[in-house]
Amino acid sequence: MIQLIPKKISPLAIISTLIAFLFSLPLIYIFLRLITEQSTLITIIYSTEIFKPLIRTVLLGVTVTVFSLLLGTSFAWLIARTNIAMKSILQILIPLPLAIPSFIIASTYVIAFRPSGKIYDFLTILKLDNIIAFEGFIGACVSLILITYPYIYLPTLARLSMLNTNAEENAKMLQQRDFSIFYKITWPQISNAAFAGSVLTFLYVISDFGVVQLLGYPNLATSIYANRLASPTTSFMLSFILAIVAISIIIIEKKYFSKKNTFFNAPGGLSKIINLGKYKYIFAMLTLIIISFALFIPVIILISWVYKASLFSNFGYTTLGSFSLMNELAEQYQTIVNTFIVAIITGLIATITMVPVAYYVQKNQNILSTVINGLITSMFAIPGLVIALAAVRFTLHISFFEFLYGTAPVLIFAYLITFGAQSLRSIYAGISVLDTNLEYLAKTLGASSWKNVTKIQLPLLLNPILAGFGLVILSTIKELPVTLLASPVGFKTLATDVWIDYDDGFLGAAAVSSLCLILVSLIFNFFLVIRTNKYKNVSS
């Protein structure tokens, strides 16, 4: 039961409150802008330009989240609990769609499925060219499912790697079927991690702009972007609605899906992985097909852009201008360094700030913890465009912060506000499954609270912490609106290089930047995400 008022204000509560206040600054700015435009605001509220985009946004968010939950959980279970073929390769490939910006994936799909596109030609052979139209709601759903399922796969796999499997082994001895074991024993122990990833998925979908814009599915995000200059009040009002939707989802998740975990601690040895027999090749093939649409097809199209630009170097591919692959690669050096630096700094700050917040929110069921959790997580639903504008406006209009205007700290702050929720949700899911008996045992043996946290709990949380760290870095690397609006003059990242070249029609140069971005993300993905989610507690 949630307490209305905390019994006492602890130092951890004060720290968490201050961090939540910093995260709330964009909302405060949006609210102040709205109350200064009361007459315009009333007109907007009674208009129809709010409700239709809201319904379309929620419909897309729910649909994508449900299918991403099924896909991400299935992949995590296959990797952690079965002998699926090519397991080591699949474990590397499955999270990689996180490495590709959403607008790049959508643009490559548009080209692949258009008439004269490679996939369209293949569908024509199969007489499916008039059946499958990759646009609108269906196109946006497919694109976003393939982009977002890793948000559920990663924390679920991390949870499975921490799971005591003795009860599963005992259930096998009692002749229980694999599905029954998963539903009755495994799922109750991993549901918190899966639902934590589902919240991130939903928030990502309702705030995404690139996919829905390119595939022609108007929603709140496209309305915000369309009104950012012509009607700023409408844009901020729609952003505020997004925040309300996000907070509502967080409250629902906390009330109905974040209940006390079920644990099954049974005596026995390590569980043997499930032998799929000949089906291990079938499941591997199905997984590779999905990964092909999420990763291989976009990469192949990008490579084809580079090839065409090199073949027609005097025209730069689609736009007049020369193209040199070596020159393009040489120009990427400083851009890659910039991308590395801001991503690592953002990831470190997000991890340091979110550990105490996650610990306080999980250990205290009261109004304050609910508000803190809601404020921080809801920022993930607000488009980066709005957060960046709010951050820049603060530094521009508040004299105390004027010296920060146009500097890297403002950019990193905007990144932190946008992606801090990813770290919070991952760490929160890890803390929620810690065995409380260890804490009681440590206190019984005379261990101080500090030693209990640093010597016992943090080592057990290493996987969720590093997973959250990796998610923030991967998101920062490919973030576009925040970088364009809040970065210092002349500061470029791989994402901005991709956007500028793509917008100018230099598909060859855009492809080089995109492939470099994917390679950089692959490095972070392998060392910070994949290696921290190795399947454990199983034997061949």
What's the pLDDT tens digit per position in 381-394?
Answer: 777 778 887 888 77
Is residue 146 in some structural domain? yes
Stretch 311-327: mean pLDDT: 66
pLDDT (average), residues 100-123: 71
Total count of residues recorded for the chain: 540
Directed axis angle between helix 11-35 and helix 232-252, to 10°? 150
The more confident residue out of 73 and 124 is: 73
309 close to 323: Cβ distance less than 8 angstroms: yes
The pLDDT value given to residue 318 = 60
Compute the CA torsion angle 27, 29, 32, 37 (nearest 10 deg).
Answer: -100
End-to-end CA distance of the chain: 43
Q: What is the 3-state secondary structure (H, E, C) of 25-75?
A: HHHHHHHHHHHCCHHHHHHHHCCCCCHHHHHHHHHHHHHHHHHHHHHHHHH
Mean model confidence pLDDT for the chain: 78
- Average pLDDT score over residue span 484-504: 82
Q: Is residue 5 in some structural domain?
A: no
Q: Are 353 and 419 in contact (CB under 8 A)?
A: no
Q: Answer whether residue 1 is part of any domain.
A: no
For residue 2, being part of any structural domain is answered with no
**Ramachandran region, residue 406 (left: φ > 0; alpha: ψ -120 to 50; beta: rest):** left
| Host H or E run for residue 538 | strand 538-539
Full domain range(s) for residue 133: 11-539
pLDDT 10s digits, 176-229 = 666 677 767 777 777 888 888 898 899 888 888 878 888 888 888 888 877 776
Over 90: is that where the pLDDT of 63 sits? yes
**pLDDT for residue 302 is more than 90:** no
Q: At what angle do helices 462-478 and 136-162 cross, to 10 degrees?
A: 150
Residue 4 maps to a domain: no
Give the mean pLDDT of 476-494. 84
**In angstroms, rounded to a whole number, what is the distance separating the alpha carbons of residues 340 and 330?**
16
Residue 104 has pLDDT above 50, yes or no: yes
Residue 502 lies in a domain: yes
How far is the CA of 210 from the CAs of 14, 52, 87, 380, in angstroms?
38, 19, 32, 16
Tell me if 109 is assigned to some domain: yes
- What's the DSSP call for residue 100? S
Q: Quote the pTM value.
A: 0.77
Query: Of 527, 70, 517, which is closest to residue 298 (Cα–Cα)?
Result: 517
Q: What is the pLDDT of residue 455?
A: 64
What number is the average pLDDT over the span 307-334? 71
Rounded to an integer, the average pLDDT of 248-261 is 69
Is residue 523 assigned to a domain?
A: yes
Mean pLDDT value across residues 510-523: 82
Give backbone dihedrals phi and psi of 325, rounded to 5 degrees, phi first.
Answer: -60, -40
Structural domains in the chain (count):
1
- What's the confidence (pLDDT) of residue 56? 92
Residue 98 burial (CB count, 10 A): 25
- Tell whether the model's pLDDT for residue 325 goes beyond 70: yes
pLDDT tens digits, one per residue of 424-473: 888 887 777 666 666 666 666 565 566 666 666 677 777 788 888 888 88
Q: For position 358, which CATH number holds?
A: 1.10.3720.10
pLDDT at 156: 87
